[in-house]
Amino acid sequence: MTYTAKYPEPYCKDMFGLPVLMLEHEAPEQFSLLLQQGFFMPVPKVCSLREFLCELVGVCGVYTEKSLQTIFLDGSAVDDIDQATIRPGCRLALSAAMPGLVGATMRRDGYFKRMREGISLSSRQEEETDSEQDISFRIQVRLYNAVGRDLAGLFLHQGIILSSSDLMQFFKSRPDKFFSELKSVKFQSSELTVEQGNLESLNIPEGEVFLRVVSGEKE
């Protein structure tokens, strides 16, 4: 199920003080492999998983209920996204329905969820402290299978944090078609021309980078 709603305004304005790489690409879903490997997302304050997905990232409505069939937060399976809390350092994985008995067992509110009670997220997580409530932080996110393809544009529109080495490795593995659909590149507001055989022109320093990818049809 492709996510078709208009993308919301990016909520992270300071980019965590990181160097910013801005791309315009016609097919953000081609970044899905990168998103499966894992990346970091900024979060302005402690919130529920639903608030993070819907109010911040923009994943709402039918897609949230019907297509996000498998969710893990800190290694625990999530059934209720209103009860799950996003707090500093947590790890979030989102997936469509997975095949077989294992997939059926991990599915949100599925018939076989009783079989995984030992790894299900407790309905009562620890309450956040006052010091946690109003500080910005980051979480690790992984997007798998169809969810990665469907939501790549939405997460990349908001912006993600990853290491420059992981990003360059991803670029080096891309076919010519990927670069033919890459319409513009800006690094720290400077326009660059990047082709598959000329990746050195990016000249991204070692360390972390804030990557944002826009696609004209959803802007």
Task: Name the DSSP letter for residue 2.
Answer: -
**Global pTM value:** 0.84
Burial 10-34 (b: 16+ CB within 10 A, else e): bebeebeebebbbbbbebbbbbbeb
The residues spanned by each domain of the chain are 18-42+145-219, 45-135
Kindly give the confidence (pLDDT) of every residue in the chain, 219 residues in length, as a single tens digit, with 9 standing for 90 and above. 566 667 888 888 888 789 999 999 999 999 999 999 999 999 999 999 999 999 999 998 888 888 888 888 998 888 888 888 999 999 999 998 755 544 545 555 554 455 555 545 554 445 554 455 678 899 999 999 999 999 999 999 999 999 999 999 999 899 989 999 999 999 888 887 776 666 666 778 899 999 999 987 555
pLDDT at 67: 83
Which neighbouring-strand residues pair with 143?
94
